[in-house]
Amino acid sequence: MLVVPPVVALNVPQAPNVLTKNKITLPVTFQPVETSPTVATAIVYCEANFGDIDGKTANGLIRRSEKYKILSVIDSQKAGLDTGMVLDNKPNAIPVCRDLADALAQAGSIPDFFIFGMAPSSGMLSKYERGLVLEAMSHGMNIVNGLHEFLNDDPVFAAACIACKVEILDVRKPREKKDLHMFSGRIAEVTCPVIAVLGTDCAIGKRTTANIITSALNKAGIKTVMIGTGQTGLIQGARYGVALDAVPSQFCAGELEATVVQAFENENPDAIIVEGQGALSHPAFSSTSFILRGSCPNGVVLQHAPRRSVRCDFEKMAMPTPASEINLIETFADTKIIGLTINHEQMNDIEVSAAITKYEQELGIPVTDALTRSPERLVEMVLTAFPGLKGKQAVNA
C-alpha cells in the first residue's frame, strides 16, 4: 500500500472553491490533474454536502488534486451522478457513490486513502462519522482529516492506527510551539508583488479565484507561486501553505510571513498569490487580519457574491457591500484593492454581466468572474496594478 507521509510545509495551484447552485454552464473546464500510477488513490466522504458550501474540500479535490487520484465521492443524496456534472456541468467520469460499500465496489480494490471532504462549522466528527472513519481504517485505508478535531490525539483512533497498520493525516495540526515563527519583518525582503485574494464572506470562492489567477499568470509567462492558507489546499498537495485557523494567534502572522519568505527564496517568483480566509468584516473569523499582517500584500483582489444577502451560516448577519469591505481593508492595512471578482451563485450570465458593469462604475476598479469570463481579464487586472510585471512577461517569453 502506498502511504504518503504528512506534509509540514505544504503549493501547486489550488482547486477552485465551490460556487453553490451554479446556474451557468462554465466555459472553463476543470478536469482532475493527470496522475501517474504512483499517485495515491482516494475516496472522498461528503454526505449530503457535495456541491454545497460545507462540501468545499470534496468540491476542490474533484476539480483539482495534485496529491491524490480521486476515485469517487460518497453522498447518498447525489448517488449515481457524475461529480463533474454536479459541480460544473462538465463530465469527468468520477462517480458519486451511495456509501462506503458502494465506493469500494466501484473502486475494485482498496484505495490508499479515505478523505473526510467536508468542512462543517463545528469542525468535529459526528458519532456516525467516527464509526465510518473507523470502518474505513478497518479496510486498510489511511485517513486524511482536515477538521479541527485531531484524530491522532484520540486514543480510539490511535489504537485503530496500530491495529489496522494505517496512518491518520491531521492536516490542520500545527507544528510544535517551539517550531512556530513569530513575525520578524522579513516580509520586507520579498521584492515581488504579493497579492492576497480576500472576500466579503467565508466560503465565497477565494481559493477558486486565487487558483485561477495563479494559473493564468503562469500561462501568461509570469512565474507565480500560490500560498495556501486552509486545509483544502494542503490536502490537494500545496507545497507552500499553512492551515492558518489552527495556529495559535500569536504565531499566525509569523507563520504566514515565514511561508511567503520561503516560497520567495526557493522559487524566485515574479508574483505571489495568497489565498484568503473568512472576511475582515466578519466577527466570526480573524484569519483575514493575520493574512494582511503576515503577508503584507501589495494588492488585494476582493471576491463578492452579489446574490448572497446574509453571511454563510449566520442568517441574521447581513452581507457587507464591496465598497464597505474595500474601505475596511484599505484602512486596516497598507494595501490597495486592485480588482473585484464575482461569485455567481444564484446568477445567470446576463446577471453576471450586469453586476460586472455595475461594480466597475461604482468602484472604479476592474471587475470579472474568474470562472465564467476569460482568465485574461485577471491577468489584465494584475498587470494594470503592477505594470512592472509586463517586463517579466517579456523576459520569460
Asked whether residue 342 is assigned to any structural domain, the reply reads yes
The CATH number that applies at residue 341 is 3.40.50.300
Is pLDDT at 102 greater than 60 in this prediction? yes
| Residue 87, H or E segment | helix 83-88
Burial class of 71 by CB neighbour count within 10 A (0 to 12, 13 to 18, 19+)? buried
Are 199 and 161 in a shared domain?
Answer: no
Burial class of 200 by CB neighbour count within 10 A (0 to 12, 13 to 18, 19+)? buried
Backbone angles phi, psi at 230, to 5 degrees: -135, 170
Are 332 and 364 in a shared domain?
Answer: yes
Asked whether residue 260 is assigned to any structural domain, the reply reads yes
Residue 200 corresponds to which cell in the numbers above?
Answer: 466579503
Are 209 and 101 in a shared domain?
Answer: no
* 3-state SS, residue 43: strand
| Residue 242 to residue 9: CA distance in whole angstroms | 7
Long-range Cβ contacts of 32-35 (<8 Å, 24+ apart): 32/62, 32/63, 32/64, 32/65, 32/69, 32/70, 32/92, 32/94, 33/64, 33/65, 33/66, 35/65, 35/69
Are 216 and 313 in a shared domain?
Answer: yes
Task: Output the CA angle 69-229-82, nearest 5 degrees.
Answer: 30
* Last residue of one domain, picked from the residues 170, 195, 219: 170
DSSP state letter for 241: B
Residue 170 corresponds to which cell in the numbers above?
Answer: 491531521
Are 269 and 391 in a shared domain?
Answer: yes
Are 190 and 147 in a shared domain?
Answer: no
Asked whether residue 7 is assigned to any structural domain, the reply reads no
Asked whether residue 310 is assigned to any structural domain, the reply reads yes
10 confidence band (pLDDT: 50, 70, 90) = very low
Check residue 66 and give its pLDDT.
85
Asked whether residue 263 is assigned to any structural domain, the reply reads yes
- Our count of domains for the chain comes to 2
* Last residue of one domain, picked from the residues 170, 192, 224: 170
Are 110 and 187 in a shared domain?
Answer: no
Check residue 96 and give its pLDDT.
98
Check residue 14 and give its pLDDT.
34
| Residue 36 to residue 33: CA distance in whole angstroms | 10
More confident residue, 391 or 302: 302
The CATH number that applies at residue 71 is 3.40.50.720
CA 375 to each of CA 68, 162, 219, 341: distance values in angstroms, whole numbers, following the listed order: 26, 48, 10, 11
Predicted TM-score (pTM) of this structure: 0.84
Are 119 and 151 in a shared domain?
Answer: yes
Tens of pLDDT, residue by residue over 314-346, are 999 999 999 999 999 999 999 999 999 999 999
Check residue 213 and give its pLDDT.
97
Q: What percent of the chain has pLDDT over 90?
A: 80
Quote the domain boundaries for residue 160.
Answer: 40-170
Are 267 and 224 in a shared domain?
Answer: yes
Asked whether residue 22 is assigned to any structural domain, the reply reads no
Q: What is the mean pLDDT of residues 297-315?
A: 96
* 3-state SS, residue 283: coil
Are 207 and 245 in a shared domain?
Answer: yes
Tens of pLDDT, residue by residue over 37-65, are 578 999 999 999 999 988 999 999 998 88
Are 164 and 285 in a shared domain?
Answer: no
